[in-house]
Amino acid sequence: MKKIIFLVAFGLAFIATTAQTNNQKGDFASLAIDSRNGEQYGWAINYTTQSDADARAKKECERNGGNKCQIVLRFKGGCGAYVVERGNPNLYGWGTADTRQEAEQIAKNEAQIQGGNNLVVRAWGCNDNPLEESEYFSPDSNGVFLFHLYPNSEKKQCFITNPIYQPNVAKKMNDKWVWNYNAKEILYPKAKKFLDLVTEKLYGYLGDLKEKAINQKPNWEGLNEIANQNYALDYSHSERKESMERSIQKIIDHYKNEGYTVEIIPVD
């Protein structure tokens, strides 16, 4: 059975320890992090149920000094990795893949998006079997579902996007979700793309009107989960997406009932 390795830095010294794992060969793994301090975390791998892996990860996090430990990553099979920025443990990333090296690279990429440039792998672990399924869970997935909406009452046209999932744009402060410092930088281009496409469809070659629309300030936040604190702590990524899809469908139905034509605008 593979073991998970913790590398903890104290000054210039590194101390390697192993996390306790289940004696049975299971496929489930969990990572727990103290929501206030990414330096305090706990791992669990090779568990036969996800709930057992969750419980062990939280326990290990608490043993490492955490007191607000929450599950931030669950994966079945394969490997997971957790990286942090040296000197700033609240800037971190994680990833899952079939190999340790791939998982570490994904974790580093995630942290770099948030501004990390001096990263260290704090922990990694591999289950005995290949990766089957991996999913980011709230509350600390840092990801937000949102969509953009643009109704035009004069032309009775409504433009809307499908659910957009953007990782690494949120954080939790004082039990409330807020935007990360880099959220606007990440989300603004998609909002601008949506507005540009809508402008083209509404005004086409009409110079003055088109120019006026182009000069509008895009609502980069869109309609999102943070706006109403609609993060369900026990909901999975897929369940949150389904909830957002239901909200979008209600809006589409509303505008259609008001006599609008509705067009879905894809924004990648």
Does residue 82 surpass a pLDDT of 80? yes
- Structure confidence by residue, pLDDT tens digits, 189-198: 889 899 888 8
Express each pLDDT in 91-124 by its tens digit.
788 888 888 888 888 888 878 877 788 998 888 8
Can you tell me the distance from the alpha carbon of 212 to that of 205, in angstroms, rounded to the nearest whole number? 12
Domain boundaries, the chain: 5-136, 144-264
Average pLDDT over residues 204-213: 61
> CA–CA distance from 193 to each of 183, 220, 251 (Å)?
16, 10, 21
Q: Please provide the DSSP assignment of the chain as one string.
A: ----EEEEEETTEEEEEE----SS---EEEEEEETTEEEEEEEEEEESSHHHHHHHHHHHHHHTT-SSEEEEEEEESSEEEEEEETTEEEEEEEEEESSHHHHHHHHHHHHHHTT--SEEEEEEEE-SS---EEEE-SSSS--EEEE-EEEETTTTEEEEPPPEEESS-EEEETTEEEE-TTHHHHHHHHHHHHHHHHHHHHHTT-HHHHHHHHTS---TT-EETGGGT---TT--HHHHHHHHHHHHHHHHHHHHHTT-EEEEPP--
> Stretch 143-157: mean pLDDT, rounded?
91
Q: Mean pLDDT for the chain?
A: 77
Mean pLDDT of 116-140: 68
Residue with tokens 């643009």: 150
Q: Model's pTM, two decimal places?
A: 0.50
Q: Residue 208 above 50 pLDDT?
A: yes
Task: Fill in the amino acid letter for 207.
Answer: G
Q: Is the CB of residue 4 less than 8 Å from the CB of residue 124?
A: yes
Beta strand 157-160 with 261-264 is: parallel
